[in-house]
Amino acid sequence: MNPGSRPDTGNAALTIETRGLTKRFGHQLAVDAVDLAVPPGSVFGFLGPNGSGKTTTIRMLLGLAAATSGTVNLLGMDMPGRFQEVLPRVGALVEGPAFYPFLSGSANLHRLDAAGRHTVPATRRARVDAALERVGLAHAARKRVHAYSLGMKQRLGIANALLSHRDLLVLDEPTNGLDPQGTREVRHLVRSLARNGTTVFVSSHLLPEVEQMCTHAAVMRAGRLVAQGSLAELRRAGSTRARILTPDAGDARKVLLHLGLEPADAAAQAEGGVLVADLDGSIPAEDLVAHLVAAGVRVRGFTVERESLEDRFVALTGEGFDVAQ
């Protein structure tokens, strides 16, 4: 999907929409004219290598940093112009959770909730208990936070973001530094939140997490948005290759050229008779085989290889993504 194109959301308003969002630090251009379009009810992966501008973009979305130019719209309202109406409906976990280590998880949430301008003291205990239950920490509510694992601290941070009903949850690297069990816990929690109607915006540099957790994604490179859309759309945008094994590599090459398909490497003819050509959609793979056979080319093997999501993202960014914790 082209970076400038916007997902089709029907008549639904976008949960997050930015136009030309730009941030400069002196002469450094950190975020360059980003147009985000986050559909309601999605788990939206904000993907890119470290230093690609993800956290700076998130800080502008939440009003924590002023944009140099461009606009931000959250939940149908201008930010930061209407932040007092928007932010009570938005939960966020940015740059890791911070808690009082010698207080319990429950006590930390009580203090954080009491600091909110729009919270209701009469319902605080019930809301804290419900939030801890929702993130699977009810059993550890009275345990001091210094005894929590990193995964438990991450979930406690999400519980803090869920003390009141949220239409949007913004998570910056929520699985960063977690062990496999902690990662699974956060992943399952994010999915359950989306099933209950919350739009979840997840920043990550871990491609496998985005693939397993998200319905949509955007890809950043050096401050620019280079692609966005549903995961299915991003996969379809990748190239498809035909790999042909034949003892008649020279004749096969002529057939490919006649059909307008350029073999990837002419030298491959001398290396076992394997030719690889990008399929541009102009000819179905089965018709290509038929053309080869009709021209007398002996086909010993034929496979169609679709570019993986990892291949696609590496091609978009020019860098690799972390593939394991």
Q: pLDDT at residue 178 above 60?
A: yes
- Mean predicted confidence (pLDDT) in 132-143: 91
DSSP-derived letter for residue 12 is P
pLDDT exceeds 50 at position 94: yes
How many residues does this entry show for the chain?
325
- Interacting residues of 175 by C-beta distance below 8 A, sequence separation 6+: 154, 182, 183, 186, 187, 204, 206, 209, 325
Specify the higher pLDDT residue, 193 or 34. Answer: 34
Q: Report how far residue 86's alpha carbon sits from residue 77's, in angstroms, rounded to the nearest whole number.
A: 7
Tell me the DSSP string of 201-236: EEEESBHHHHHHH-SEEEEEETTEEEEEEEHHHHHH
Query: According to the per-residue pLDDT averaged within each range, which of 3-12, 134-143, 300-309 is highest?
Result: 134-143
Instruction: Give helix then strand counts, H and E, for the chain.
Output: 11, 14
Q: pLDDT per residue over 208-256, tens digit each? A: 778 888 999 999 988 999 889 988 888 776 667 888 888 888 888 888 8
- 3-class SS of residue 121: helix
Confidence of residue 321 (pLDDT cuts 50, 70, 90): low
Q: Residue 263: which of 298, 292, 234, 237 has the closest Cα?
A: 292
User: Residue 164 half-sphere exposure, CB side, CA atoms within 13 Å?
Assistant: 17
More confident residue, 95 or 2: 95
The tokens describing 229, both together, are 């859309």
Residue 107 has pLDDT above 70, yes or no: yes
Give the whole-angstrom CA distance, residue 8 versus residue 71.
20
Task: Taking residues 57-61, report their average pLDDT.
Answer: 94
pLDDT of residue 267 exceeding 60: no
Residue 54 φ then ψ, to 5°:
-65, -50
Tell me if 16-236 shares its fold with 238-315.
Answer: no
Tokens of 203: 């920043």
Quick check: 102 and 146 in contact, CB under 8 A?
A: yes
Give 247 or 151, the one with higher predicted confidence.
Answer: 247
pLDDT above 50 (res 325): no
pLDDT value at 146 more than 70: yes
Asked if 231 contacts 207 with a C-beta cutoff of 8 angstroms, the reply is no
Handedness of CA 87, 92, 98, 99 (dihedral sign): positive
**Neighbour count for residue 215 (Cβ, 10 Å):** 16
- Higher per-residue confidence, 237 vs 262: 262
Judged by DSSP in three states, 128 sits in helix
With a cut of 50, say whether residue 11 has pLDDT above it. Answer: no
Judge whether residue 78 has pLDDT over 70: yes
Q: How confident is the model at residue 79 (pLDDT cuts 50, 70, 90)?
A: very high
Average pLDDT of span 99-121: 90
So where are the chain's domains?
Answer: 16-236, 238-315
Count of CB atoms situated within 10 Å of the CB of 272: 10
Element (H, E) at 189: helix 180-195
What is the CA 93 to chain-centroid distance, rounded? 16
What pLDDT shows up at residue 10?
Answer: 45
Q: Are 47 and 64 in contact (CB under 8 A)?
A: no
Q: Per CATH, the architecture of 238-315 is what?
A: 2-Layer Sandwich (3.30)
Structure tokens at 317: 């960014």
Q: Please state the rounded mean pLDDT for residues 170-187.
A: 81
- Residue 148 or 180, more confident: 148
Q: What is the average pLDDT score of the chain?
A: 84
What residue has token string 């038929």?
290
Instruction: Name the phi and psi angles at 200, rounded to 5.
Output: -115, 125
Task: Using pLDDT thresholds of 50, 70 and 90, give the confidence band for residue 45.
Answer: very high
CATH code of domain 16-236: 3.40.50.300
Which of the four pLDDT bands, split at 50, 70 and 90, describes residue 4? very low
